[in-house]
Every structure is written in structure tokens, then in C-alpha cells.
Amino acid sequence: MTARIHSSSPATIRRLAAVLKRGGLVAVPTETVYGLAAHALDAEACEGIFRAKGRPSTDPLIVHVSSLTAAGTVAELNPAARLLAKAFWPGPLTMVLPKKSVVPDVVTSGLDSVAVRVPRHRVFQELLKASGLPLAAPSANPFGYISPTTAEHVMQSLGDRIEHILDGGACALGVESTIVDLRNPAAPRVLRPGSITIEQLSEVLGVPVTLRRSRTLPGKGKKKRKSAAAQRAPGMLERHYSPRTRVRLVKEIKSDHVIAAGRRVAFLFLARPTDPRLAALGGRVAWLSVIGDPTEASRALYASLRALDAGGYREIVVQRLPETTAFVAITDRLTRAAARSK
């Protein structure tokens, strides 16, 4: 099996919608990262997602729909969900809500809740409307690896496991959606940070929103029995979004340390280093934004990690980011990428 990258023409979208209706898989663009989509109400089709990704059955899928009305066909919407939908949908916000019986257990890892989102990406919206289906779509990469933000990234990671990749250009945001648990609207919790912040959610809801801490890998560490249970939402494991190359986070990277480290170590900065000596070191010195802009950094994060991971380095040393709201999501992804298996 070899994947084909398709353009986003209306005719192509109609053909790929038919593939999804038949129970096939299609890698799709979103404003966050590329996803691997299947008919969310077709259990067998969704099982194909788990096989293609090597994803554990304890990690539920996010269901993507075209509108708030469509979200109501798979989840029980409460007033808090409607408030957030009005403020942030379509967009990079996923809500965890009580599920309706039409959603197969494989999608929710047997839980009584479902994660649902209305994406903003034009091409994905066209595919949702052409198919008329809710689509389950986790990131289109092998489980635990760096998420893809271009069609080429999907080809590199899953090109021999799937047949169809819909090209919608590079992802505008570059990190996965914010996930908020609204099963108890009086005490909402962010399960995974993203570009929509806790402060923004709190302002709309009028109640404090808290951040849930990560979990250890299934079957690993001292909390083995607890960790083997299903997660409430994706992206909550302690180690995730990880390159094959070891990642190490440090508070500060000094130029002398970079020069002395040798060719087997790569360095990733937030902003372009000002020391001219580092310019001569080529690809083993990279940065997320010329001036350290958080939006640019978010968009460049996964592509930068993928490029360094392909460089044959022994280690990728990453400068810790400022402890401000603007960098919470990127810091979350880097922290998980750098986590060691227990």
C-alpha cells in the first residue's frame, strides 16, 4: 500500500467523501495538525485508525463535525458547551461531553463521554459537508510520534499504511486543539492546552477553569494499574509528541556550550541566536521564530522537531520557553516530547 496525496479540488473531495462513506481512511488537513479520518459511527472503520497508527485502545478519538447542530447528534450539549461553541467554533477547541448511544465504544475507549470539535479549516469543512458524516480524526502519525503539519509529513510517517492524503497546505496553528472537560459545567477542566487559553475559557464561562495534569504511559511506572485505564481525552499521556531522538529541556543555552557539544548534538532555540558563531554550525542549530513570536513558534514546532529528528543526532537540546500564557501549549508539547519512558 502506498498513499497518494490528493489536491483539494471539489471533485477530489467528493471522491474522498465516498471513500469515507465506504469505511475507508483519509488523512485530512485541519487548522491544528493533520488528522487521520474515518466515519465516526462506523466501529470497524475507526478500528482501522487504531491499526494504522498503532494506537492503544485506551486513547479515545476526537469526533469532528461540521456545526453545533451536528455536534448535538453525537454528544449531550449543555449550556456551557453552547456558550463556548458560540465563542470558539469553528476553531481549535474540543469539548468532552456525555456521549449519545450512536457513538461506538471504540471511539470513546468505552467511556460514557465523547470529545467533539467543529474544525475551522476550509478543506476539512468541505469534506465534512460532502460526506455528511461525523469524522473521528486523531493526528495522522504513528502513535506517540511528532504530529504532522503538512501532507508530506503524513506521507513520511504513514505513507505505507494508508491510501489517501488530502492536501490542504501547512497547518495554520501547528499544535493540537485545546480540550476542555465539560461533563461538570460548574467545574470545567482543560485536559490538554492549546491555542485557546484557560483565561479565555474562564472569561466566556464565568467560572474558573483548571488544568489537569498528565498521566504516565499505559502499563508503565508505579501507577501501572491506574494508567492502563482509558484516558478521558487524547494527548494526556506523560510522554507524547516525541521524536525518536532524545529531547532534553534546559533553562538556557549558551553559545560556548553549543560550540563545544560537537556535531552529534542539535539545539533548538525559541528565537534566532544573535551570536554570529552559531550561524556557521548549519542545521544543528534551529529556532522556532526569528523574533520569538509565540504564533510563529507554535506553527514551526513540529516541523522543526521532525527536521532535527531526521538529522541523525544523538540528542536535541531545547531551550525552555517563557512561563507565560502564550507559550503554555508549546511548553506542554515539548515537556511531553522530552519525557522519558518509565
Domain with CATH 3.40.50 in the chain: 246-338
- Model confidence over 159-178: pLDDT tens digits? 999 999 999 999 999 999 99
- Model confidence over 87-138: pLDDT tens digits? 999 999 999 999 999 999 999 999 999 999 999 999 999 999 999 999 999 9
> What pLDDT shows up at residue 228?
57
Strand partners for 95: 116, 180
- When the candidates are 3.30.1490, 1.10.3470, 3.40.50, 1.10.443, the CATH number that belongs to 246-338 is 3.40.50
From CA 180, how far away is CA 259, in angstroms rounded? 43
Residue 146 has pLDDT above 70, yes or no: yes
Which residue type does 155 have? M
> What pLDDT shows up at residue 214?
56
Residue 61 has pLDDT above 70, yes or no: yes
Residue 19 has pLDDT above 80, yes or no: yes
Listed range (117-121, 180-184, 275-279) with the worst mean pLDDT: 275-279
% residues pLDDT > 90 (the chain): 89
What kind of fold does domain 4-227 have according to CATH? DHBP synthase (3.90.870)
Burial of 298 (0-12, 13-18, 19+ CB in 10 A): buried
**What's the whole-model pTM score?**
0.94
The SS3 call for residue 163 is coil
Separation in Å, CA 197 to CA 103, 190, 209, 325, 329: 28, 9, 10, 7, 9
Q: 133: how many CB neighbours lie within 10 A of its CB?
A: 24
Listed range (21-30, 203-212, 232-241, 305-314) with the worst mean pLDDT: 232-241
**What's the maximum distance between 2 C-alpha atoms anywhere in the chain?**
61
- Cβ atoms of residues 286 and 235 within 8 Å: no
- Model confidence over 212-236: pLDDT tens digits? 865 544 444 444 333 458 899 998 8
From CA 235, how far away is CA 58, in angstroms rounded? 12
Domain with CATH 3.90.870.10 in the chain: 4-227
Separation in Å, CA 179 to CA 153, 158, 189: 24, 25, 8
From CA 91, how far away is CA 251, in angstroms rounded? 33
> What pLDDT shows up at residue 291?
95
Query: Which residues, 6+ apart, have CB-to-CB distance to 133 below 8 Å?
Result: 17, 20, 21, 39, 40, 41
The helix, strand and coil proportions of the chain, stated in percent and rounded to the nearest 5, come to 35, 20, 45
Residue 32's nearest CA partner among 241, 183, 202 is 241
Residue 26's nearest CA partner among 154, 171, 169, 177 is 154
The overall average pLDDT reported for the chain is 94
> What pLDDT shows up at residue 280?
77
DSSP 55: -
Query: Which residues, 6+ apart, have CB-to-CB distance to 306 below 8 Å?
Result: 146, 153, 156, 243
Chain Cα centroid distance, residue 96: 16
Q: The cell 453525537 sits on which residue?
A: 74
Q: Residue ranges of the alpha helices (H) in 94-150?
A: 105-108, 122-131
